[in-house]
Structure 1
Amino acid sequence: MSAILKVQDITAAYGSSQVLFGVTFEIKRGDIATLLGRNGMGKSTTIRSILGLNRIGSGSITFNGQRIDAMATDRIARAGVAIVPEGRQIFPNLTVEENLVAFSANRSKAAEPWTLARIYELFPRLRERSRNMGKQLSGGEQQMLAIGRALMTNPHLLILDEATEGLAPLIREEIWHCLERLRSVGQTTLVIDKYVERLTRFADQHTIIERGKVVWSGDSPTLRAAPDVWHRYVGV
């Protein structure tokens, strides 16, 4: 299957401090991929570079066959990249339904696009809370809403940054079941998280970053068979 995203040998810096040193990976269409590593190792800078929030120094980022590393962030979003940001960042004074429909679009031109009904099917709790304000939701409900809001843009690529951070174990499990469902319907997804053992149950491909460099990449069976690798670089 063809790659929808190709990150090729990118470097990035903040002022005189270089953060990324030749990061390379790709995501195949329809796959769930992960970007792993401890805090401060370059994951966020990599995501910011994909989204156009941080200009790369060298290398290239190609999405759907088009170079995007010099594009403005809004153009990248319109091209079909959506993010569920760390901290969720939902609109606290809009209802659940207003949050979901505010930026709805069918950028992927999917035959079965994500609609309000499909989001409520994926997250029945959001249907129950549809008239509640965002600020009235629990942390887990806010994360469901953030994922639903991103899906309502019908992205070609969905990025989840620290998707289960700070959530109770049962809610984390619900989010992971959601990701398994997304995989089953062919939604290409990039997940930044730390629960390697759980991620290897459904993700297709993994990239581990250490100090701004890719130190390991491979599929789930290979990573499951090498717990020393993920204990060393992720430490969970």
Structure 2
Amino acid sequence: MTILLEVEGLETCYGSSQVLFGIHLRMAAGEVATLLGRNGMGKTTTVRSLLGMTPASAGRVRFRGERIEHLAADRIARMGMAVVPEGRQIFANLTVQENLQAFAANRNASENPWSLDRVYQLFPRLAERSRNPGNRLSGGEQQMLAIGRALMTNPHLLILDEATEGLAPLIREEIWQCLAALRAQGQAILVIDKYVKRLMALADQHTLIERGQVVWQGSSAQLEAQPALWQRYIGV
């Protein structure tokens, strides 16, 4: 088993306020993992620290065997870590195709790298709207575009912050099917979302965070066997 991401004792502060207190996490190549917890408990800050956007104040982060906790965000991105951010943050004035092309980079030496055609095969709706500007897309289409844009970097690790937040049920189902297809292709994925039952079907392992600390880690089978955890730490 090749370890892709290893986080040990991660601590992060905003000014004088400490937000993360010793986060630990390990992911293998090709694995799907989740970060679970109520709003404001440190999930997004964890992601920002992994990406170098909010530097860690203590702890170690190894990605593909290299220490990255003190690297700049652009360097970490070039190493093959990509994010679908909360709120999507697509370029509203660029077309779908321009949004995708702006992020094209073959950083992963894959025999089948992500390209426009491959993204359009995954999301046919984007192909239909390839000339539409981002601000003319629905929320679900914007999320598809944000995922496609991240995939165009050919990442070793794809991170989704609030993967299906605010989406209609049918669109949400399309996103889950997309993530399942990516998993089947061997894409490593770290997901933040609140739909625990769907995440249990998708992910190999789960990490529950409460007030900036890891309170539980385990497999989907272990999480399914402890529904009281959902109510206590996630509220579902």
Measured against the shorter chain, the TM-score band is: over 0.9
State the shift of 1:54 in Å: 1.4
Match of 1:87 in 2: 87
Match of 1:102 in 2: 102
Match of 1:44 in 2: 44
Q: 1:210 is aligned with what amino acid?
A: E
SS class of match (2:78): helix
Match of 1:142 in 2: 142
Q: 1:25 is aligned with what amino acid?
A: L
SS class of match (2:201): coil
CA distance in 1, matches of 2:169, 2:37: 21
Q: Is the counterpart of residue 220 in structure 1 residue 235 in structure 2?
A: no
State the shift of 1:44 in Å: 1.1
CA distance in 2, matches of 1:2, 1:225: 28
Structure-to-structure mapping, 1:6-21, within 5 angstroms: 6-21=6-21
State the shift of 1:227 in Å: 0.8
State the shift of 1:191 in Å: 0.4
State the shift of 1:225 in Å: 1.2
> Moved runs in structure 1, 4+ residues, more than 3 A?
none
CA distance in 2, matches of 1:25, 1:80: 18
CA distance in 1, matches of 2:114, 2:108: 10
Q: 1:233 is aligned with what amino acid?
A: Y
SS class of match (1:108): coil
Q: 2:110 is aligned with what amino acid?
A: A
Structure-to-structure mapping, 1:15-94, within 5 angstroms: 15-94=15-94
Superposed CA offset, 1:92-129 (max 9, x none): 11111111111201111111111111111100101111
SS class of match (1:181): helix
SS class of match (1:60): strand
Superposed CA offset, 1:10-39 (max 9, x none): 111112211111110111110111001001
CA distance in 2, matches of 1:3, 1:210: 25
State the shift of 1:55 in Å: 1.8
Q: 1:86 is aligned with what amino acid?
A: E
Taking structure 1 as the reference length, the TM-score comes to 0.98
Q: 2:51 is aligned with what amino acid?
A: L
Taking structure 2 as the reference length, the TM-score comes to 0.98
Q: 1:130 is aligned with what amino acid?
A: S
CA distance in 2, matches of 1:209, 1:47: 12
SS class of match (2:202): coil
Q: 1:186 is aligned with what amino acid?
A: G
Structure 2 unaligned spans of 5+: none
Q: 1:94 is aligned with what amino acid?
A: L
Structure 1 unaligned spans of 5+: none
Match of 2:128 in 1: 128
Report percent identity of matched pairs: 66
State the shift of 1:202 in Å: 1.3
Q: 1:49 is aligned with what amino acid?
A: S
Q: Is the counterpart of residue 119 in structure 1 residue 129 in structure 2?
A: no
CA distance in 1, matches of 2:19, 2:124: 41
